[in-house]
Amino acid sequence: MDENTSARQQYLAFGLAEARYGVELLKLREILQLEPITKVPGTPPSVRGVINLRGAVVPVVDLALKFGLPETVPTRRTCVLVVESALGGERAVVGLLADSVDEVVELGPGEVEPAPAFGTRVRLEHLRGMGKLAAGFLLLLDIDRILSDEERDVAAAAEAGRLEARPPAS
């Protein structure tokens, strides 16, 4: 992790497929209870669809699919983490499916190790590092680098109001 200061940073810890991840709290806009997701034709498999967030169309990415795991199966604890990502120098709002939300943790530079080169399905460039906690480790995601070009295109189209959604099949 590249930190030039000794300041501590806060992360939201969340569960996904029996692993714990963290997203920088400053990138998190809100946490939503899972609601119906509307499919959008022609999007990458990791984009489950879109949700309506107070009139704005927000694409929802299934991180499990992105990491090569089976699709997230919704439970009563499943939620959407609405994050703000810098895409090509512009801001984009994206929802990330999470199995559960755990807690907010605060980590200093001495509590963050470089990302491991093994033992995780997450590509190294998608990680800021690995946070050391009393109860284990937290894989710290780099939200600005985690989306693919195709997912960025969906987010940009959503921001511009150019997505055509299909209602869920009944």
User: What is the DSSP annotation of 105-154?
Assistant: EEE-GGGEEPPPSSS-SS-GGGEEEEEEETTEEEEEE-HHHHS-HHHHHH
The whole-number pLDDT of residue 28 equals 95
Mean pLDDT for back-to-back runs of 10 residues, the chain (170 residues): 66 91 94 92 90 91 89 93 82 91 91 73 76 87 82 75 58
The whole-number pLDDT of residue 4 equals 47
DSSP 156: H
The whole-number pLDDT of residue 1 equals 44
Domain holding 44, by residue range, is: 9-160
User: ∠85-52-25 over CA atoms, to 5°?
Assistant: 35
Residue 76 in domain: yes
Residue 43 in domain: yes
Domains of the chain: total: 1
Residue 4 in domain: no
The whole-number pLDDT of residue 88 equals 67
- Write out the two tokens for 64: 């499990």
Residue 166 in domain: no
pTM of the model: 0.83
C-alpha 62/C-alpha 66 separation (Å) is 6
78: domain CATH number? Answer: 2.40.50.180
Residue 93 in domain: yes
For residues 134 and 24, the answer to whether their CB atoms sit within 8 Å is no
Residue 28 in domain: yes
Residue 167 in domain: no
Residue 168 in domain: no
